[in-house]
Amino acid sequence: MKEMELYQLWSKTELEDADLSEELAAIAGDTDAIKDRFYRELEFGTGGLRGVIGAGTNRMNIYTVRKATQGLADYLNEAVESPSVAISYDSRIKSDKFAKETARVFAANGIKAYIYPQLMPTPCLSFAVRELGCDAGVMVTASHNPAKYNGYKAYGPDGCQLTLEAADRVLSLIEKVDLFHGVKLVDFDAAIEDGSIEYIKPEVEEKFLENVKAQALDLEACEKANLKVVYTPLNGTGNIPVRRILAMRGIKDVTVVKEQELPDGTFKTCPFPNPEIPEALALGLDLCKEVKPDLLLATDPDCDRVGIAVPDKNGEYVLITGNEVGALLMEYICKQRTEKGTMPKDPIAVKTIVTTELAAKIAADYGVKVIDVLTGFKFIGEQILYLEQKGETERYLFGFEESYGYLAGTYARDKDAVVASMLICEMAASYKLKGVSILDALNSIYERYGNYIHRQQSFTCEGAAGMEQMKAIMTSLRTDTPKEIAGQAVVSFSDYLASKTVDMTSGAETVIELPKSDVLSFTLANGNSIVLRPSGTEPKIKAYYTAISATKEGALAAIEEMKASFTKVLGF
């Protein structure tokens, strides 16, 4: 059915959400607007759904959420007997509504649905799946995307996001569901009454926090250091759990950014509620000028990512990147474990292929094996599952990705800004007692291993034309690989979709032993590198640059040269 036919069908249907009917009426006659909403179905992948809230098959609304849930329900009913699911949601527009619609569909399909009675972070959902013995989970969130987005993350029984195979099967079942007539539903309140939908009890959240607290390494530092913290939950789910865990660890002096304290899906003061973006931390940085804390913490709306800023010697607050925080935590965890005699035999840390190699350098000095996985935290969680299946979860120390996601402990299988916030504060307190700042500790790492500087560049490709543009770029680079970038010869080229690395000098090929993924990597003659991949959650193609130099200035200059050169290669 073509876009206009779908538009007419939706327009003639008596929709339950008045907002959708108003939107459809408002775009009458606007061919481009209609095409954008109906040219495809919102894609269900390993990360579930994510899209702009609104009317149409290519939008997040109660109908696309119901259809996806019906497909997931059909998958669960064919895979296991008497399945159950856990559901949570964040502060985004319609998140609570989408979560309840999800529960209604599951209950109608004979699947017990446990739902948090209030918004709760993504790691709490991952924990609940395992704690309640569920066969799946759903987190309604668009993570750090702008306010116009919402999303739907699907989880397996291990608390990780769905595997590639499971996601493919769910997608095949979703495609069979008629959007308006193929979905089973029950009344939410009636289902609460008969027990087919059940609110998750407070004890689950309490147990989650106890598991987070158990990851502490320096039990006295926080209380002794009198650490002063400014915190912003960016109007999301982190406000209560992060403040609670800090209080449980003895960190009393926490000032919250008032404008960003309470849930607000419009994100009025931070249009891009992403701690990776400096603008999102602007109000927090302004408050730092007044409060003068040891540390600024910022968690994203579903509280699975955390960003920080710390004062330099002049009292100016400096943002620390995800790679830098990951390297700092790797060093801190390894050192504390070694000193306290709690380092396990054959310890393991896990990072993604676009995450700093500095972590591997640090880990090697402590005898820790680092495993590289594809981008996406579920691949880190998957490594924990492998250890669990062998009865060796104690070997797992730490996992992280450059995009501000970290996990210590195996109680959850997705990144957790609650435990990361606790460990970052503990690390800052421990260093403070020794007269060492976070920046001092970071510079010490760079002095030992070299200045590993990383930057990310995103190229937005909106709408149907944007999707085609991204495909064309990736195809072109595969068929006509650049021989030179930023004046440096490309010495090796890796294509993770073809599962091979090519030596550009000899032509020799080696096999990449990871699942196929639409990722390209270029290594230059000077050791610097670029990784390129289309985002799985946003209409963007992302480039990750790494430069290594004896000086920070030299590495930064190399990054800028690579960005300028590679932008031309991509045609932007």
Exposure string for 184-214, b = 16+ CB within 10 A, e = fewer? bebebeebbeeebbbebeeebbeebbebbbe
Q: Are 201 and 324 part of one and the same domain?
A: no
Place of tokens 């400014």: 230
Instruction: Examine the fold and report which residue of 449, 479, 512 is the final residue of a domain before the chain moves on.
Output: 449
pLDDT for 537 equals: 64
For the chain, the domain total comes to 4
Q: Are 25 and 137 part of one and the same domain?
A: no
Q: Are residues 83 and 111 in contact, defined by beta-carbon separation less than 8 angstroms?
A: yes
CATH code at position 102: 3.40.120.10
Q: Are 50 and 125 part of one and the same domain?
A: yes
- pLDDT tens-digit profile of 242-288? 999 999 999 999 999 999 999 999 999 998 999 999 999 999 999 99
Q: Are 356 and 378 part of one and the same domain?
A: yes
Contacts of 152 (CB under 8 A, 6+ apart): 48, 49, 50, 60, 65, 68, 98, 102, 138, 139, 140
Q: Please state, as a whole number, how many other Cβ atoms lie within 10 Å of the Cβ of residue 428.
A: 29
**Is position 213 within any domain?**
no
pLDDT for 1 equals: 63
For the cut 80, the answer to whether the pLDDT of residue 498 exceeds it is yes
Instruction: Look over the chain and give the mean of its residue pLDDT values, rounded to a whole number.
Output: 95
Q: Which of 91, 143, 529, 549 is catalytic?
A: 143
- pLDDT tens-digit profile of 166-185? 999 999 999 999 999 999 99
Tell me what the mean pLDDT of segment 230-247 comes to: 98
Separation of alpha carbons 351 and 55, rounded Å: 38
Q: Are residues 246 and 225 in contact, defined by beta-carbon separation less than 8 angstroms?
A: no
Helix, strand and coil percent figures for the chain, each rounded to 5: 40, 20, 35
- pLDDT tens-digit profile of 524-564? 999 999 999 988 666 789 999 999 998 989 999 999 999 99
- pLDDT tens-digit profile of 311-332? 999 999 999 999 999 999 999 9
**Is position 266 within any domain?**
yes
Backbone angles phi, psi at 454, to 5 degrees: -125, 140
> What is the 8-class DSSP label of residue 175?
T
Apex CA 294: angle with CA 289 and CA 299, to 5°?
85
Instruction: Examine the fold and report which residue of 414, 449, 484 is the final residue of a domain before the chain moves on.
Output: 449
Q: Longest Cα pair distance anywhere in the chain, in angstroms? A: 70
Separation of alpha carbons 377 and 74, rounded Å: 26
Q: Are 159 and 90 part of one and the same domain?
A: yes
Q: Are 231 and 193 part of one and the same domain?
A: no
Q: Are 325 and 342 part of one and the same domain?
A: yes
Residue type, 479: T
**Is position 319 within any domain?**
yes
pLDDT for 148 equals: 96
**Is position 15 within any domain?**
yes
For the cut 70, the answer to whether the pLDDT of residue 30 exceeds it is yes
Q: Encoding tokens for residue 258? A: 């008032």
**Is position 433 within any domain?**
yes
Single out the residue of 373, 381, 340 nearest to residue 354, CA to CA: 373
pLDDT for 200 equals: 98
Q: Are 104 and 158 part of one and the same domain?
A: yes
Q: Are 137 and 238 part of one and the same domain?
A: no
Tell me what the mean pLDDT of segment 388-414 comes to: 97
Identify the band that residue 465 occupies on the pLDDT scale cut at 50, 70 and 90.
Answer: confident
**Is position 219 within any domain?**
no
Backbone angles phi, psi at 335, to 5 degrees: -65, -45
Backbone angles phi, psi at 509, to 5 degrees: -120, 140
Q: Domain range for residue 34?
A: 1-39
Single out the residue of 344, 451, 434, 443 nearest to residue 398, CA to CA: 344
**Is position 215 within any domain?**
no
Q: Are 495 and 375 part of one and the same domain?
A: no
**Is position 514 within any domain?**
yes
For the cut 80, the answer to whether the pLDDT of residue 464 exceeds it is no
Q: Are 80 and 203 part of one and the same domain?
A: yes
* Active-site residue flag, 172: no
Q: Is the dihedral of CA 391, 397, 401, 406 positive or negative?
A: positive
Q: Are 193 and 113 part of one and the same domain?
A: yes
Separation of alpha carbons 369 and 363, rounded Å: 7
Number of H helices, E strands in the chain: 19, 23
CATH code at position 487: 3.30.310.50
In the chain, pLDDT over 90 holds for what percent of residues? Answer: 91
Separation of alpha carbons 232 and 280, rounded Å: 10
For the cut 80, the answer to whether the pLDDT of residue 490 exceeds it is yes
